[in-house]
Structure 1
Amino acid sequence: MNQMTQLAPVMADIARANGLPNAHYTDPALFAEEKRSVLFASWSGIGFGKDIPEAGDAKPVDFLGMPLLMVRDRSGAIGVFQNTCRHRGMILVEEPTRIRGAIRCPYHSWCYGLDGSLRTTPHVGGPGQNTHDEVDITKLGLFRIRSFVWRDVVFVNIDGQAAAFEEVHAELMARWAEFEQLIFHGGESSSFKLEVRTNWKLAVENYCESYHLPWVHPGLNSYSRLEDHYNIEREGLYSGQGTRVYRQLRDENDARFPDFKGLSAQWNEGAEYVAVYPNVLLGVQRDHAYAIVLQPVDQENTVEHIELYYATPEKQTPELDGLRGANARLWKTVFEEDIFVVEGMQRGRRGELFDGGRFSPAMDGPTHNFHKWVAARIEAGRAS
């Protein structure tokens, strides 16, 4: 059993709890442990459906060293496979591409369908012999990774042991049921990434709470004040924050984005921002939404992949291109304002006397909720 860190103080009531120990942000061994017990054992985000929009589109993804391949099949469904040939383990797809026929291994030309099934094995029985009695192609398809697409985020469960996505996230999906409708990516200007020198967990922790708004986001706080926000915390499930004063962006002609259809009155001026554990951050407003996939690089580096979505397609509303660009710049500014905070906390974890920190019982509930969830996953992994 791993005895590297004591997690009981993290699991305590918020008034007495400490945060996760420093080593969970700085120690490569603990990063490797969390890779298995937290990120591979849960439903983690790896990418977006918008990156493979057409049948045959394929995109390779490196997720914590695991070579994966996202593929859209002829029916429009997205599948995820291990990106290695079953013959000699060659990487199948190196760059985003459109598969015209089959997924062909560049080494010996074994070919796979978009469903992962092995189709052909050239010369496997000798020159000109494409079959062999001892090579059963029905048992040599690509390794399929459990996957689920929600709000255009492609989630995977690497170890295959998690409960179904719809079961794990049933409550959040019900909470946002009104937003279960088509969403459309805002185009090139609505896609950006931030490379941040911090542990991935600190990005989640910062996102969860509104406590920092007056000091870190003065522009946002000027109209969506700290007192206009509320905590969202469902123990063991998800956490985040909401605002009661969401203000729609308008251009110089007073144009605004079309609303999502059929929303109830709570969304007239309400919006919510939730961390879907472990590494996906979502936001919903009446007229647009966004998704952030946190890509852990190592214990001290993270890439934030950010995508913005709307109720109407970009191609059908060219008159809103300027507004979409302005909205992207606004959000990019907000997210960039957080960089010095999460990088500063990362450097602070080198302070040997820091004990994980304390929580404000009134303001830090969402962050404490995340800490407890991570600690519970680690303890479960140590017990197995």
Structure 2
Amino acid sequence: MTVVNGYEQSDAEKKLNILNLPSLADEAKKIIPTGGYGYIVGGSEDEWTLAENTKAFNHAQIVHKALSNIDSPDLSTNFLGIDLKTPIMMAPTAAQGLAHSQGEKDTARGVAAVGGLMAQSTYSSTSIADTAAAGNGAPQLFQLYMSKDWDFNKSLLDEAKKAGVKGIILTVDATVDGYREEDIINNFQFPIPMPNLEKYSAGDGKGKGIGEIYASAAQKISEDDVRRIAEYTDLPVIVKGVQSPEDALRAIGAGAAAIYVSNHGGRQLNGGPASFDVLPAIAKAVNKRVPIIFDSGVRRGSHAFKALAAGADLVAFGRPVIYGLALGGAEGVQSVFEQIDHELEIIMQLAGTKTIADVKHAPLTHFNYAD
């Protein structure tokens, strides 16, 4: 155990024997301090949307395909020219030092070990360069929470480009922080510095609440910002937080290289629809002009399959990876990805889909079941 400013961080480094990803939350709760765990697990208001994110996968069912004459499903895929061994990626997730002393560095190592794609967060607990170095050349994206200070934005984008990231994720659904009651109950303040915030007016993040951190964020984001970032970095810009076909088309019109369908894991707008429920309409509007990343509520291989079949090109998740990080460091992260990949392979076999391209064409049926 490492202690930083009175906050206890896990130092565990081990492979995990995982029954299923939902079971990891209770195990992680035993070792992550209360405030940190509440920040990681919590959603906004009464967490209705957070819960619906996972329930919504029951709104579609996978069609079993017998006599399909396939074996050994292939999870490899390509995203924006990046070859990947799995369609499951690490969502940009803040302050991973709350779960483990190595934070994002261990996450980068674990994701690299499975041939996946990792996204760094502006609010990381390790620097852009250190996280990229830990990945040892594995592909990474950098997620930008735009600041009101463009010089600050440029500094982060410069560092990200120097570190060799393959694209910029612009988060557009977090201009203010959602009303997160877990953080209020725990009077949560970040105990660990955020290196990306140290050089500018946002400070280092240590000793601040999430509301104070977001106070420095840009409250006005438009299509012009998408263009500006693309022109400044000459990197693909992925617009994250899209929940409607109209916003997807606006982002594409502004030059977005990909759309990221997400409701921030139920942490921002409570009362909005589950991310999976809006995915098909967005995918139809996008019509394969650009690839789509999807997240929010993914806990099973069947969830990933359904998201891919409903229009996603990559499927991202965050919380289960952080639980694995707390429990086993880099090897724990690797274990989490291996578990969901294993489940996905089983589903692909039973659904008669050999490749991820096949999954994207797999039929889903829809029945309304009472929750």
TM-score range, shorter chain: under 0.3
TM-score, with length taken from structure 2: 0.25
Which has the larger Rg? 1
Higher strand share: 1
- TM-score of the two chains, using structure 1 as the length reference: 0.25
* Larger helix percent: 2
Greater length-normalized contact order (CA 8 Å, ≥ 6 residues apart): 2
